[in-house]
Structure 1
Amino acid sequence: MKTIYTLLSILCCTLFLNAQQANTDFANQMNTIFQHLDKNRVPHGILTDFGLEYVDLNGYNGTLNNNNHTSRTTVHESFYTLISSRIRAVNTGFMQPIDFEKLWHSKRTQGLITVGGLYFKYAKFKDDARTHLVR
């Protein structure tokens, strides 16, 4: 019976060790696609075309309309979109996602509505850049 538990323990440990490897396929693919881009010329170091888009940031341009309502999830997804869009080492305004979550929860107070938001400047290729061969 002890050997069965020992084998199960070893099996579980190897599964957990395997699960902790980070998947870098997307990052490698983006680095290959943008390898010839001078990353120092990207304003503010954030290029949304480079990142993994969790939410479409186009609707959140500072103008209030019927389609850009937000929620806790939308704020988090916007933050993750911006984090993944960093094309060079830019740390201004960024924190680890777990720290962002802790800060969000620490500001909550019973009986009050906690309002938060994000303000970042970022770059994006024009939608017609490929057809007009912008260089």
Structure 2
Amino acid sequence: MKKIYLCLLFTPFVLNAQINIDRTWKDAINRTFQHLDKTKVQSGILLDYGMEFTNVTAYNGVLTDSTDINTNVLGDIYKTLFMSKVVADTVHTPTFDRYAYNWAKARFNATKDSSGIYILSGLLYEYQKLD
């Protein structure tokens, strides 16, 4: 019984800790691009606006030794594109958790009755980059 009370006692602190979001970087980048006419970014994604987790421009469809892809790299590419959004669109760019869930669900459903089936995933997004 004491364990339940202790859990209930610490729950508000844990929940409160998860609410705090560090906006330092986002506020700084918004000040940098405050005069940018975001309607001129046709795709809604400007690479210079986001934090780069990987060099997205290296993945241009040409396979090289340095453009090997695995789930971690795919996640870094997606997170870079997601953070580079200059519009609030979440239909075409859902959160990475939602993207990963949909991919895992498709893989599970396709392989639960048989083996030898591979579910591939890819990203095809148009973006702009400042010169």
Q: Is 72-81 or 14-23 further displaced after alignment? A: 14-23
**C-alpha RMSD over aligned residues:** 2.3
What is the aligned partner in structure 2 of residue 74 from structure 1? 73
TM-score of the aligned structures, taking structure 1 as reference length: 0.79
| TM-fit CA distance, 1:75 | 1.1
Q: Percent of aligned pairs with the same residue?
A: 26
Q: In proportion to residue count, which structure has more helix? A: 2
Task: Rate the CA distance shift 1:113–1:88 in 2: closer, same or farther, 3 A.
Answer: same
Q: What secondary structure, in the 3-state scheme, does the structure 2 residue paired with 1:102 have?
A: helix
What is the aligned partner in structure 1 of residue 60 from structure 2? 61
What is the aligned partner in structure 1 of residue 36 from structure 2? 37
TM-score of the aligned structures, taking structure 2 as reference length: 0.81
Matched, 1:124 2:129: yes
Aligned length: 125
Mapped to 1, the partners of 2:14 and 2:90 lie a distance apart of: 34
Which stretches in structure 2 are left out of the alignment for 5+ residues? none
Mapped to 2, the partners of 1:102 and 1:62 lie a distance apart of: 25
Map Cα deviations across residues 79-134 of structure 1 (whole Å, 9 max, x no partner). 111110001233452123222111110121243222210000101112xxxxxxxx
Mapped to 2, the partners of 1:60 and 1:13 lie a distance apart of: 44
Letter in 2 for 1:51: G
Task: Rate the CA distance shift 1:20–1:92 in 2: closer, same or farther, 3 A.
Answer: closer
Q: Is 106-115 or 65-74 further displaced after alignment? A: 106-115
Letter in 2 for 1:42: V
What is the aligned partner in structure 2 of residue 111 from structure 1? 116
